[in-house]
Amino acid sequence: MKPRIVRALYWGGGMVALSLGAIGVVLPLLPTTPFVILAAFCFSRSSERLHLWLLNQRLFGPLIRDWETYGVIPLRIKCLSTTLMLALVSYPLLFREFDWRLKGLAAASVLFALVYVWSRPSVRDERRRKGLPTSESPRSGG
């Protein structure tokens, strides 16, 4: 059993992430999906009841289950997140004056996030289920 303080920290982190995700539903500048996935992660380590509640939500449940089981980010979410990231970082990088190192850091952060998002599969692959090999049988050299 985890110490109470660790569970409390995970629970608090989950509540903050879920709150930010809820704000992101109505505020287009704030992404919803990553915060909801983070909340599910935190709740899986602190509150089974809240984790199950998130998994059973009509809107976020399938997204969280696909992420937890298959590591999938749907193509629609990839396109939306790419569009929003590029749109939101373009204005300050192109039209605002601030240190070039900060601009480079912002651009690198967005590039890193985009590479990660696009490196994830877009559709379920039953073979990718946690713990299962991705090929039927190992190939032997010949």
In the DSSP assignment, the letter for residue 128 is G
Q: How far apart are CA 58 and CA 66, in angstroms?
A: 13
In the DSSP assignment, the letter for residue 46 is T
Q: Tell me, what amino acid is at 16?
A: V
Stated as kind and residue range, the H or E segment containing 53 is helix 48-55
* Tens of each residue's pLDDT in the chain, 142 residues: 568 899 999 999 999 999 988 887 777 666 777 888 889 999 999 999 999 999 998 888 888 888 888 888 888 888 888 888 888 888 888 888 888 898 888 888 888 888 988 998 888 776 556 555 554 434 444 4
Question: Do residues 62 and 54 make contact, with C-beta atoms less than 8 angstroms apart?
Answer: no
Predicted TM-score (pTM) above 0.75 = no
Question: Do residues 54 and 17 make contact, with C-beta atoms less than 8 angstroms apart?
Answer: no
